[in-house]
């Protein structure tokens, strides 16, 4: 299970979300709620009172299903007085792991205007205390980065029909029912599906069905690769810097067509 925590924040009429993965056991709901509460309060130490955390979603990335959890204390306002920086202004923090090639970025908005000087982040003593508390939480052994195993070989596909029936030129070793496979070397206009396909009951590793199936047949050659995620503990973080993010939308508005409806 790859457990994702998604935190929803808003400032005036602009909303955005921030996600991070954890290795916390979802069966330990008290521990999971305590971790979420610690993250919420630590994160909001870097935000102004104009910014609120309004919701939290816990989901399993393997099944694309939400986990029902009662999280209290919401909405939670930021702790800093004074005006906020524009919602397009974000603080970029890179999370490092024991694998030098595996990193992830966090884009943290809702910053105090007093800590923004043009393109430079002004780290005052109080803001530095909040940032240190946040970095200590990230490296506490409870947060992880999930990365696909790129060492797995990609295999040639002969054809995929519009029923999701795949015939392979090279077998996909380990592609048993329930496993996921990723499309490689095919344009999005040909196969719009960008989430991994799930392997259904099959004849062999060279002849199987996947879900969801494409709207029409896609002849080869192109590639499939078995999806296998590896988990790495967050070991450190980079020096923060300012960047820009696209303006979000209020959460009451309809989702974009690319958003996954859970």
Q: What is the pLDDT of residues 15-31, one digit of tens each?
A: 899 999 999 998 999 99
Query: How far apart (Å, rounded) are the C-alpha atoms in residues 254 and 172?
Result: 39
Claim: this prediction has a pTM higher than 0.85: no
32-58, pLDDT tens digit by residue? Answer: 999 999 999 999 999 999 999 999 999
| Domains by residue range for the chain, with CATH | 3-147+231-244 (no CATH), 150-227 (2.40.30)
Mean pLDDT (the chain) is 88
């Amino acid at each position: 299970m790859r457990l994702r925590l998604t935190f929803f924040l808003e400032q005036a009429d602009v909303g955005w979300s921030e996600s991070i993965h954890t290795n916390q056991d979802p069966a330990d709901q008290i521990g999971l709620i305590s971790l979420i509460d610690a993250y919420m309060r630590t994160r909001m130490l870097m935000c102004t009172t104009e910014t609120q955390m309004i919701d939290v979603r816990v989901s399993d990335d393997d099944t694309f299903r939400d986990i029902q959890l009662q999280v209290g204390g919401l909405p939670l306002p930021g702790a800093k007085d004074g005006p906020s920086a524009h919602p397009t202004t974000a603080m970029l923090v890179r999370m490092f792991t024991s694998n030098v090639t595996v990193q992830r970025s966090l884009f943290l908005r809702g910053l105090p205007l007093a800590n923004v000087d043009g393109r430079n982040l002004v780290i005052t003593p109080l803001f530095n205390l909040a940032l240190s508390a946040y970095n200590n939480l990230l490296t506490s052994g409870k947060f992880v980065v999930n990365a696909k195993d790129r060492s797995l070989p990609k295999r040639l596909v002969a054809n995929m029909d519009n029923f999701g029936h795949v015939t392979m030129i090279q077998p996909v070793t380990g592609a048993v029912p329930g496993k996921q496979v990723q499309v490689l070397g095919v344009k999005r206009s040909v196969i719009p599906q960008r989430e991994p396909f799930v392997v259904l009951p099959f004849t062999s590793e060279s002849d199987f069905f996947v879900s969801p199936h494409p709207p029409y047949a896609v002849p080869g050659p192109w590639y499939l690769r078995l999806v296998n995620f590896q988990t790495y503990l967050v070991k450190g973080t980079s020096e923060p810097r300012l960047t820009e993010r696209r303006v979000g939308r209020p959460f009451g508005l309809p989702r974009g067509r690319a958003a996954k409806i859970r």
